[in-house]
Amino acid sequence: MTPHRLGALATTAALAAAGGLLTATPASAAVSCTSPAGAAAAAVHRTSPVWTAQYFANTSFSGTPRLTACDGAIAENYGTGDPAGVTLPHDNFSVRWSVTRDFGSGGPFAFSAATQDGIRVYLDGVRVIDLWRNVSTTQTRTVDVAVPAGRHTLRVEYVAFTGTANVAFSYAPRTSPAVDTVAPRAPLGASATYDRATDRATLRWAPNTEMDLAGYRVYRRLATTAWTRVSGDTPVTGRSFSDSPPTTGESFLYEVRAVDKAGNESAGSVDGTVTSTDRTAPAAPDGLTATDRQAGVTLAWRAVPGASTYTVFRRRVPDTDVPTSEERVATVTSPTWTDSAVTERAEYTYWVAAVDAAGNTSPRTWVAATHRDYTTPAAPTGLTAVFQPRNGVVVSWTPSTSKDVARYRVYRFGELYTETGYSSYTDMSVGHGTTYTYTVTAVDEAGNESPVSGAASATTHGDLVAPAAVTGLKATPREDGVLLEWEPNTEPDLKRYEVFKAVRHEDGEGGYVWLAHRVEYLAEDATSFLHGSAADGETVMYGVFAVDDWNNVLRVEDETVNWVEVTELGTPDAG
């Protein structure tokens, strides 16, 4: 039967094409079976490490190997012959395969062997499979092995005693979550870059050597927040990932974690940091108020976090149908500003926006304000003060020339005495023989008060007290009228007497009222008076009033006046 080595030849050819593996080499030559470099190395290393195979022409692995070669897998079917590419006996030969590899974080593995004839498998020199006997059929064995993390050496020894020869060995991680609780190693070589043109962060990392790797997860956070996964629910199978962090100008940290097929997740890689472009506007200012003062309208608002300046816009509310335009009037760094360029009696609308250091502008907040009238009116002029014995002191002035004057304030002896809407005022509360000094100011509709006018003074003389009521008044009806008699008034400044007659009139409601009228002026020495009224039997009343030199006299309704009632002679008119 022709010897053949189908599995070995096929694997060697494939690996040679991928990474330039050595094929059969004379025993005297040095052989180094290494994995290819870069990403291909990691992929091959995870699934098909390169074995160093030694072929012996005996069953004791003694002497110099007839051949040393590189194999990508142990899967040989020699039939009844010997391996191809080397001269060995058809029976009683042996092969030793060995490889040292990184098992990553280790964990539970299944080692599987199938052979005819014998096989022994060692992990770091410790035998884990032993099927070393001459058999006529293929024997199999699978064992569960807990492989520690790190680099370990596998050695597989095969012997062909007699008859048909074949051998296969494989090992693979056990990926059931119930079995595998070992987390992968953290990815190495992680780095992060940021493209300001696209506002995207890109992470790259070295391949993980875990045999049961499912992929990678990418996490992001701010320096003060918890990690958030940004790579989605499905693990990333490549070795790079792009993300769009918020465009806030903040520094974001990224890390990569490996995840295996059992769902175990590694610790994070070394953090990569990027600072995003700041394209996020600050919040709109709130609490905006407008306070009107004489210096102008003062705006104030609460400071906005992240704002470096504030922009203030203004528009005057038109008082006609002609529209007004909005204008930017200020850029300030503090949350307050006073508009000193306002016009009195004008309404305004203001807007304020926050701007950050990157130039992002917030929405605007608005407030309305009215700048009132702060201009004082012109002072009154031409002030005069004249004493009138029966009235008091009459104060008069020329009105202010300002058109918005609402009232005048009259000051007496420098203190506010009264207010009036006219350009004169009579002070009736003056005393006897006193000089009074007055000034006047104008007050406009906004409450502004003018400067004080020039002063004017007046001196009162005499008195303002009316003489006492006349006493002893008698009324005697006669054919020629009614004779009045009274006691003389003793006031030293008596000037005259005035005689009043009161006639009763029906009020239309069953009652009556007395209506008085003056009938005569008499000299100061008079003590009687005949009033020549018609003798018609009418009942009337008479009163006599004393008047002094200052024209002071009691009023007809004064309760101290002594009225006398008399019925004239004759018969009252029937009509």
**pLDDT value at position 31?**
74
**pLDDT value at position 30?**
62
Measured distance CA(113)–CA(47) in Å, rounded:
17
Structure tokens at 368: 């309305």
| CA nearest to 404, candidates 444, 461, 375, 361 | 444
| CA nearest to 235, candidates 219, 212, 267, 258 | 258
Q: Which residues of 57-77 are buried (b: 16+ CB within 10 A; e: fewer)?
A: bebeeeeebbbbbbbbbbbbe
Structure tokens at 487: 């006691």
What residues contact 226, with CB distance under 8 A and at least 6 apart?
none
Measured distance CA(101)–CA(46) in Å, rounded:
9
- For 191-275, CATH number out of 3.60.21.70, 2.60.40.10, 1.10.760.10, 3.40.50.300 equals 2.60.40.10
Looking at the chain, the domain(s) classified CATH 2.60.120.260 span 6-173
Q: What does each of the 575 residues of the chain score in pLDDT, given as a tens digit?
A: 233 333 443 333 333 333 333 344 454 456 788 754 444 445 544 556 799 999 999 999 999 999 999 999 999 999 988 888 899 998 999 999 999 999 999 999 999 999 999 999 999 999 999 999 999 999 999 999 999 999 999 999 999 999 999 999 999 999 999 999 999 999 999 999 999 999 999 999 999 989 999 999 999 999 999 999 999 999 999 999 999 999 999 999 999 999 999 999 999 999 999 999 999 999 999 999 999 999 999 999 999 999 999 999 999 998 776 777 899 999 999 999 999 999 999 999 999 999 999 999 999 999 999 999 999 999 999 999 999 877 889 999 999 999 999 999 999 999 999 999 999 999 999 887 899 999 999 999 999 999 999 999 999 887 778 899 999 999 999 999 999 999 999 998 899 999 999 998 888 887 888 899 999 999 999 999 999 988 888 999 999 999 988 888 999 999 999 999 999 998 776 44
Distance of CA 305 to the CA centre of its chain: 8
3-state secondary structure of 230: coil
**pLDDT value at position 432?**
79
| CA nearest to 425, candidates 379, 458, 376, 377 | 458
**Residue 433 backbone zone (phi > 0: left; psi -120 to 50: alpha; other: beta):** left
Measured distance CA(231)–CA(257) in Å, rounded:
11
**pLDDT value at position 535?**
80
Using CB atoms within 10 A of its CB, is residue 270 exposed (0-12), middle (13-18) or buried (19+)? middle
What residues contact 479, with CB distance under 8 A and at least 6 apart?
535, 569
H helix or E strand, kind and range, residue 192 = strand 191-195
Q: What's at 61, amino acid-wise? A: F
To the question of domain 474-567 being in CATH 2.60.40.10, the answer is yes
Using CB atoms within 10 A of its CB, is residue 275 exposed (0-12), middle (13-18) or buried (19+)? middle
**pLDDT value at position 452?**
97
Q: Class of 381-459 per CATH?
A: mainly beta
**pLDDT value at position 245?**
97
Measured distance CA(379)–CA(552) in Å, rounded:
36
3-state secondary structure of 45: helix
Q: Class of 6-173 per CATH?
A: mainly beta
Global pTM reads 0.59
Q: Class of 289-371 per CATH?
A: mainly beta
What residues contact 199, with CB distance under 8 A and at least 6 apart?
244, 245, 247, 276, 277, 279
* Cα distance between the two ends of the chain: 177
Looking at the chain, the domain(s) classified CATH 2.60.40.10 span 191-275, 289-371, 381-459, 474-567
Task: Give residue for tokens 């002191």.
Answer: 393
Task: Please count the other Cβ atoms lying within 10 Å of the Cβ belonging to residue 468.
Answer: 12
**pLDDT value at position 18?**
34
* Angle in degrees, CA 487, 488, 490, rounded to 5: 125
Q: What is the DSSP letter of 126?
A: E
